[in-house]
Amino acid sequence: MVVFDSSLLIDALRKKKEALDLIDHYSEKERLAITIISKYEILRGAKEKNMNLINGLLSRFFIYDFEDSSLMEAVRIYRKLQAKGKIVSELDVLVAGIAAINNETLITRDKDFLNFENERISVV
């Protein structure tokens, strides 16, 4: 399984070809996932008129929950970034923690993830 970040889901909802093609590409090979954090990010900005489209897209993904082990991994990641003087979004740290603890590759368009210096994070 691979974990998609909210940046790609937002692009898919905006019908951007690159994001749609990427989702289709990975769905041919393996099961797709997102984190509960990404689901939150998508839903918090959703307009009621778009909920059918959003729920249709979200239904294609397994959703990783946020558990204590994910929390501890996120803390480890945060401290590593902080020690290097790299400040990133707290939500990005939580997403990375969930993906890492589940031994998944995280796929994102968010360039902030380049700060994580992790071979299991693919910025496309």
C-alpha torsion sign, points 4, 7, 11, 14: positive
Q: Could you read off the pLDDT of 8-37 as tens digits, one per residue? A: 999 999 999 999 999 999 999 889 999 999
Residue range 66-93: mean pLDDT, rounded: 94
The percent of residues in the chain predicted with pLDDT above 70, rounded, is 100
**Per-domain residue ranges for the chain?**
2-123
Per-residue pLDDT at 45 exceeds 90: no
CATH code of the domain made up of 2-123? 3.40.50.1010
Which ranges constitute the DSSP H helices of 1-124?
A: 6-13, 17-29, 36-44, 51-58, 68-83, 90-101
Q: What pTM did the predictor assign? A: 0.91
**3-class secondary-structure state, position 105:** strand
Q: How confident is the model at residue 87 (pLDDT cuts 50, 70, 90)?
A: confident
The chain-wide mean pLDDT, for the chain, equals 94
Q: Could you read off the pLDDT of 112-122 as tens digits, one per residue? A: 999 998 899 99
Phi, psi of 35 (to 5 degrees): -105, 160
Whole-number pLDDT of residue 88:
87
